[in-house]
Amino acid sequence: MGLFKKEQTQEPARESFSRRQLLEDLYLTKNALDTAYANFEAVVDPDLIDCYTYEIYSVQKRYKFLLEQAKQMDLQTFF
């Protein structure tokens, strides 16, 4: 019987870790997006403009994915 109780108590801990990890990923991704926008505005070289354009697009995709994951987990975020 101890095994069943142990499994039940570990599940909320995993979910809590998963939620914290998701929030941390959202925070880091938001910072990466802000940095990419700032870098894009500071460059004049066409190659760097292309580089930051692709970086912004990529980070936006990741941010959108993470927001969808947060929505599925019913997380309230302020991003």
Q: Where are the domains of the chain?
A: 17-72
Q: Tens digits of per-residue pLDDT, 24-75?
A: 999 999 999 999 999 999 999 999 999 999 999 999 999 999 999 888 887 6
Q: Predicted confidence band at 78 (pLDDT cuts at 50, 70, 90)?
A: low
> Structure pTM?
0.72
Indicate the residue type of 8. Q
CB-based contacts of 12-19 (< 8 A; 24+ apart in sequence): 18/73, 19/73, 19/75
At residue 30, the pLDDT reads 96
Q: What angle do CA 6, 9, 10 make, to 5 degrees?
A: 85
